[in-house]
Amino acid sequence: MRLILFSALLLAILFTSCKKEEIPEPIDPTPQVETYSSVKTILESSCLGCHSPNQNAYIVDLTNYESIKNYLDGTNTMIDRLNSDDEFYRMPPSGNLSDADKQKLIDWINDGYLE
């Protein structure tokens, strides 16, 4: 029994001494920045039903990053529409977008809509 304990201890010491020294990760004080991949699912579930090439709002194709970036690079009403209460102006028209998801989209746009 002692021998087992002793070998276990020895192994543990061996392992820890061989472990590469880890550089501690710096603590990031800034909140997480949204990227296209982190907002994509929101667009898919709330916007693509209309904003796809074969749908009625194909004028703004939100199915891919290039197309969205192209739209946002120009004069656009995206944030305005997300924030609007006017049912004829807001997006999505149903108003069926949670505040958290809306904020994510707005943050993403304000942070420069990174890919």
Q: Which residues bind ligand HEC (CB under 6 A)?
A: 46-47, 49-51, 56-57, 59-60, 76-78, 81, 91-93, 97
Least distance to ligand HEC, CB of residue 34, Å: 14
Cβ-based nearer residue to ligand HEC, 7 or 45: 45
Cβ-based nearer residue to ligand HEC, 34 or 97: 97
Alpha-carbon span 48 to 57, nearest angstrom: 9
Eight-class DSSP state of 22: P
User: Under DSSP, is residue 115 helix (H, G, I), strand (E, B) or coil?
Assistant: coil
Least distance to ligand HEC, CB of residue 92, Å: 4
Q: What's phi and psi for 39, nearest 5 deg? A: -110, -5
Torsion 22-27-30-34 (CA) sign: positive
Cβ-based nearer residue to ligand HEC, 8 or 80: 80
